[in-house]
Amino acid sequence: MKVRVLGSSGAEFPGFNSPAFLIDDSLLLDAGTIGAVLGEAAQWKIRHVLVTHAHLDHIKGIPFLADNIILKNKKHSVTVMGIPAVLNTIKRNLLNDKVWPDFTVIPDIDSAVLKLKSIRPEKTFAINSYKITAYRVNHAVPAAGYIVESAGGRRLLYTGDTGPTERIWHATETPVHCAIIEVSMPNSMKEMAILTGHLTAGLLKEEIKKMKNIPERILITHPKPQYLKQIKKEVAGLRMKNIAILRDGEVHRI
């Protein structure tokens, strides 16, 4: 499984892109960044987008991708998947013919550029050769993280945005080869992190204690660039050899 980091930042500044992780060129985990990084040929390869939640920094690439497809007159559709509350928010507040054209009915409902497909938490489903399971996580809005398992049995856990949570760690009963977990704020902002549904390095330490098996690798996403230096120091202070902070543009083999 190849994971390309299109974006992994908790805020947008030059050189810091919003979260998006491209798996084997065709499956996207969150869509905060697409067209700002991928050229046309790479964009056309995307067929499915798994959205964790409807905050703008995790979905803002979707409408621009749809616009690029329709302007190129491509016979192409992308399926956007998420728990019902997430898709309802996207449909009602983004693809509503006010903020952005409703690409779920353009050019027509049968051949729409975007197709929205609801998924049920903890019910495994398939996308091509991948087995995928969503788990609810604890954020300020309805949200779910994902387990993505390849045909070869390699397992990736992605939390999306979450504060201290429970259900997704049950997925570690079966060993996880790589976990992409958020740490958004420094330890000094613990109360703010809990209030807004995020983690600090200190809170992550407590979440790791909940895991049945610690993942082979833990990759940190969503740090606020304003506090990146301090977050790096605090993550290093966990003294775990298998943990690292992601950088945009990296490619990881799982």
Tens-place pLDDT, residues 103-162: 999 999 999 999 999 999 999 999 999 999 999 999 999 999 999 999 999 999 999 999
Q: Are 201 and 234 in contact (CB under 8 A)?
A: yes
Q: What is the mean pLDDT of residues 193-218?
A: 98
> How many angstroms separate the CA atoms of 131 and 127, rounded?
7
The pLDDT of residue 73 is: 73
Distance between CA atoms of residues 95 and 106, nearest Å: 11
Contact 31, 20 (CB under 8 A): yes
Question: What pLDDT sits at residue 168?
Answer: 98
In single-letter form, the type of residue at position 113 comes to: V
Q: What is the pTM of this model?
A: 0.97
What is the pairing mode between strands 243-245 and 114-118? unpaired
Query: What pairs with residue 115 in β-bridges?
Result: 79
| Alpha-carbon distance values, 131 to 134, 144, 156 (Å) | 10, 16, 11
List domains and CATH numbers for the chain: 2-253 (3.60.15.10)
Strand partners, 149: 131, 155
For residue 107, whether the previous peptide bond is cis, meaning omega lies within 30 degrees of 0, is yes
